[in-house]
Amino acid sequence: MKKLLLFMISVCFLILLFFMSKEMEEKGRREQSLKGEPSLKELLNIALQPVGKTMYVWGGGWNEEDNGAGEETRRIGLSPLWEEFAQKQGAFYDYETTRYQIHQGLDCSGYIGWVVYNLLETENEKEGYVTKASQMAKSLADKGLGDYTKNKQVTDWQPGDVMSMEDHVWMVVGACQDGSVVLLHSSPPGVTLAGTKLYGKDKSMAETLAAKYMAKYYPHWYEKYPDISCDTTYLETAHRMRWSSKILQDAEGLRYKNAEEILMVLFGETYYIP
């Protein structure tokens, strides 16, 4: 009788543990659902936040030791110092005179590192994502965020792709029908939409789109800094990190849209702007 009682108590205890584990699992699912899965649209919207209000500063976003993410790129949200500094700059801003004023703006690596941190993290002062521009695509892929492709094998560009060149890193917004690419980057004078050139064309579709959207949504910046063109080496020499579909949701189907359609989604436009 005593053995039977002990057996029944053990069974009840195991059943209780089972239901407790199920409840914890369900609680985890509810919390994840409330937090929301990161999405491709969210990534690009975050990347747009510093546009037109953040200057390019050599070393901006790095720590004092210059070996990793600094204070601003391990925090959620824009630093008020960035816009404050940008508002004081004129049309002939010279980044050579502001080297290592690391709290005043972002360099290319600092910018992409800040974007990734604000996408994936929910608390300040966690480990950052800033690293050398030439290594950033590989570094993010090594963290399990996506697939890495060397420049010689890159034949297409999708929104969110992180592209590492020898001395620069940038993010794809979308590809145009003529093969040019609209992108986001921090490059002198600052964080901006830009478009790649094409051989034999006076102005590519990407250059036209980037100029149109900068003029419409960031007129004060564009009036001072109208150059939004990037040379063809951006498409010829950059290694790629493409986000895993398991990491980034894409309910809007941005991966299957061209640059113009993507920009319309990001800026909430429901009709074509001539």
Burial (0-12, 13-18, 19+ Cβ within 10 Å), 172: buried
- Find all residues with CB under 8 Å of 169, minimum gap 6, and list them: 108, 109, 112, 133, 134, 136, 137, 162, 163, 185
Domain residue extents for the chain: 38-266
Provide block-wise average pLDDT over 10 residues at a time, the chain (274 residues): 53 45 39 65 98 98 97 98 98 97 98 98 97 98 98 98 98 98 98 96 96 98 98 97 98 98 96 50
Return d(Cα 25, Cα 219) in angstroms, integer: 49
242 DSSP β-pair partners = 147
Closest CA to 222 of 181, 262, 192, 187: 192
Please tell me whether residue 242 adopts helix, strand or coil conformation: strand
Contact 232, 197 (CB under 8 A): yes
User: What is the reported pTM?
Assistant: 0.86
pLDDT given for residue 270 in this prediction: 79
Contact 260, 209 (CB under 8 A): yes
Please tell me whether residue 190 adopts helix, strand or coil conformation: strand
Return d(Cα 149, Cα 131) in angstroms, integer: 18
Contact 43, 162 (CB under 8 A): no
pLDDT given for residue 4 in this prediction: 54
pLDDT given for residue 25 in this prediction: 40
pLDDT given for residue 184 in this prediction: 99
What is the b/e burial string over 52-90, where b = at least 16 CB atoms within 10 angstroms of the residue's CB? Answer: bbbbbbbbbbbbeeeeebbbbbbbeeebeebbebbeebe
pLDDT given for residue 73 in this prediction: 98
pLDDT given for residue 125 in this prediction: 96
pLDDT given for residue 46 in this prediction: 98
pLDDT given for residue 33 in this prediction: 36
Residue identified by tokens 């950033």 is: 136
DSSP state of 145: S
> What is the residue type of 107?
D
Residues comprising the chain, all counted: 274
